[in-house]
Amino acid sequence: MPRPLLVLALALVACAAGSRPQHTAVPTIPARPDDVGSIDGIMRAFYEVVNVEPDAPRQWSRDRTLYLPDIRFVAIGKELHVWDHQQFVDESEPLMRAGFYENEINRVERRYGNIAHVFSTYETRTTKDGPVRSRGVNSLQLFFDGKRWWVASVTWQSEDADHPIPPELLP
């Protein structure tokens, strides 16, 4: 490639790299045994990691330990979003920075052998004791590998006028 084209190509790559959202990669840490030793532990940790005061440090490394390395998060709404863990972290940061609370209000669990499906109904708030901002249902696929539980996928949908939460998923 002639030098002027090489310089142009490098400049375009640099501009493209500069336009990508900046993020801090989530460090890898060992899973806490009480987080991954049971379905209750996984679900407790799943919600604890996203409950944060404004500008408080997030627990993304702890969160990462709950999932398979190639986990997919799927948000169903007016648009469909599919993220890996790092993309989920990057997309969630603005919401978390402002303070965010999500609490389980009901759970429907089905288990067969070493696989489980959990429908977890939630409420969100922007302050710990503030008014409910939204409700919805998290759907998690889990499995036990003989040593610990893993979350294989997470899909959720927020409640809206067209999609009220059915009675069987409410407390």
Average pLDDT, the chain: 89
Statement: residue 4 has pLDDT above 90: no
Encode pLDDT of 13-35 as tens digits. Answer: 333 444 444 566 888 899 999 99
In the chain, where the domains are located: 3-169
| CATH architecture of the domain with residue range 3-169 | Roll (3.10)
pLDDT above 90: percentage of residues in the chain: 82
Contact 118, 43 (CB under 8 A): yes
pLDDT higher than 70, residue 2:
no
42-69 pLDDT, tens digit each = 999 999 999 999 989 999 999 999 999 9
Which pair of tokens denotes residue 19? 């336009």
The stretch 4-10 carries a mean pLDDT of 35
**Higher-scoring residue by pLDDT: 143, 15:** 143
Cβ 107 vs Cβ 42: under 8 Å: no
Asked if residue 161 has pLDDT above 50, the reply is: yes
The predicted structure's pLDDT at residue 25:
83
Question: Could you report the per-residue pLDDT of 82-126, keeping only the tens digit for each?
Answer: 999 999 999 999 989 999 999 999 999 999 999 999 999 999 999
- Assign 129 to helix, strand or coil: coil
Position 166, amino acid = P
91 closest CA partner among 140, 58, 127, 134: 58
